[in-house]
Structure 1
């Protein structure tokens, strides 16, 4: 059943056409947000221009050029999957994680279960104290809070610990003389699962040139899975936070506590 709204020449526009345009617009905006600041965006734009060129040359009857471009566009979908594999993986991981989190939250409320994050006060305080100490001494540090994400798919290497979160342990790990100070500390289920872990480095070209490898690694892992990363700069002693490919710099003590409560 069609509900005609208006006509543009011979073109009839109904309610479903508007919904169609709105949904496509939202998808394109989310795609732009996903690719923004990465090399993948330039590749995507190039492939779109290639496809539009093919359509133009075909309409103009330029058979040789259109046939050449057709060979490129014919495999366009498979090429997009291969080229944008990290971005597609990130999108599906975020979609699945959010869906599962909402489902678990619904059943927890329905069954009257308490939220386990309410019991993390002690761990939050231990990390907060450790980070403030590391910031004062300008000791570089990087902690990844995995939340519901599976770090095995992205984070590699490191020394397994499976230890309780404590102020002394965190400060000791990131001490400059410690053999574990390079890399990241990974926290899973409010326990330190490993130290000196290796993270993927972000290729985001919009990141400030002043940020170093530690910050880029934090942004890189947050681009691929749903994690919260806390960083102490070795040069300035400032505390930063990375999530969803975005970097928030210069955290104060209050903001640090808020984020730890939210992501631990």
Structure 2
């Protein structure tokens, strides 16, 4: 039997009611983070207002309006799945990846395994290349894929399947290189392609000063689970994008930390 916490008139609240409200609040907050800054947020708010209106009309006994809104809601939820397909996929990827990381962390602790925190050779190669390009104000965009299939979102480019190296990255992004436009994609610890085309974010919350590289990095991270590293051609500052969030002007130490977490 659930434990009754308090009773206010006709309202009885137990521990499971509070837990229910907490879970719904967390889910709504995660949805807001995913939809924030996009037109999808306006559609979602409109559907929520429609649903709340239906609940209000039903409680007031206004059967005709309730039945009409109910039909809209039935069609609307199916439409939401179609309209919000990228956002739903991001939400499920975020939920699944977080759960898997927590499970692996607990499992490693139970087995007494130590996680290697030392930067590998690939991380050092990328770090050196990005610091070099930042100093020379050479524009660059690097996409590190996680568990997602990049072919579903990332298109074009030249297939390389090459080892990660300082010299190759600097050469690709050199202004005279035919591959410097677009993004370099790292998959399974190797450079899979260069000059790849990414979707551009429509997030209106992004600063007006960010260019196409930054918007492309945010755009691809909104749709699939990737980590993006950007060098600004105008300022030479290094930025990072993940899950639709942009972190600008990161330090060398922060760059190393993000590379370690991403690779």
- Determine the C-alpha separation between the residues in 2 that align with 1:157 and 1:197: 5
- In 1, are the aligned partners of 2:227 and 2:242 still within 8 Å (CA)? yes
Q: Which residue of 2 aligns with 1:234?
A: 233
Q: How far does residue 95 in structure 1 lie from its aligned partner after superposition?
A: 2.2
Q: Which moved more, 1:23-32 or 1:230-239?
A: 23-32
* Superposed CA offset, 1:8-66 (max 9, x none): 11222222222222222222222222222221111111111122233444555666654
- In 1, are the aligned partners of 2:38 and 2:203 still within 8 Å (CA)? yes
Q: Which residue of 1 aligns with 2:204?
A: 205
- Determine the C-alpha separation between the residues in 2 that align with 1:210 and 1:244: 20
- In 2, are the aligned partners of 1:158 and 1:196 still within 8 Å (CA)? yes
Q: Which residue of 2 aligns with 1:18?
A: 18
TM-score of the aligned structures, taking structure 1 as reference length: 0.89
Long gaps (5+) in structure 1: none
Secondary structure of residue in 2 paired with 1:194: strand
Provide closer, same or farther for how the CA distance between residues 88 and 238 of structure 1 changes in structure 2, counting only shifts above 3 A. Answer: same
Q: Which residue of 1 aligns with 2:6?
A: 6
- Determine the C-alpha separation between the residues in 2 that align with 1:158 and 1:127: 20
Long gaps (5+) in structure 2: none
Q: How far does residue 87 in structure 1 lie from its aligned partner after superposition?
A: 0.7
Q: Which residue of 2 aligns with 1:186?
A: 185
- In 1, are the aligned partners of 2:142 and 2:186 still within 8 Å (CA)? yes
- In 1, are the aligned partners of 2:31 and 2:91 still within 8 Å (CA)? no
- Determine the C-alpha separation between the residues in 1 that align with 2:202 and 2:148: 21
Secondary structure of residue in 2 paired with 1:75: helix
- Determine the C-alpha separation between the residues in 2 that align with 1:119 and 1:32: 36
- Determine the C-alpha separation between the residues in 2 that align with 1:5 and 1:114: 44
- In 2, are the aligned partners of 1:120 and 1:190 still within 8 Å (CA)? no
- In 2, are the aligned partners of 1:97 and 1:149 still within 8 Å (CA)? no
- In 2, are the aligned partners of 1:201 and 1:219 still within 8 Å (CA)? yes
Q: How far does residue 90 in structure 1 lie from its aligned partner after superposition?
A: 0.6
The count of corresponding residues between Structure 1 and Structure 2 is 263
Provide closer, same or farther for how the CA distance between residues 252 and 5 of structure 1 changes in structure 2, counting only shifts above 3 A. Answer: closer
- In 2, are the aligned partners of 1:241 and 1:248 still within 8 Å (CA)? yes
Query: Aligned-pair RMSD on alpha carbons?
Result: 2.4
- Determine the C-alpha separation between the residues in 2 that align with 1:111 and 1:169: 39
Provide closer, same or farther for how the CA distance between residues 4 and 67 of structure 1 changes in structure 2, counting only shifts above 3 A. Answer: closer
Provide closer, same or farther for how the CA distance between residues 11 and 114 of structure 1 changes in structure 2, counting only shifts above 3 A. Answer: closer
- Determine the C-alpha separation between the residues in 1 that align with 2:111 and 2:16: 39
Q: Which residue of 1 aligns with 2:215?
A: 216
1:33 aligns with 2:57: no
1:5-84 aligned at under 5 Å gives the runs 5-58=5-58, 65-84=65-84
TM-score of the aligned structures, taking structure 2 as reference length: 0.89
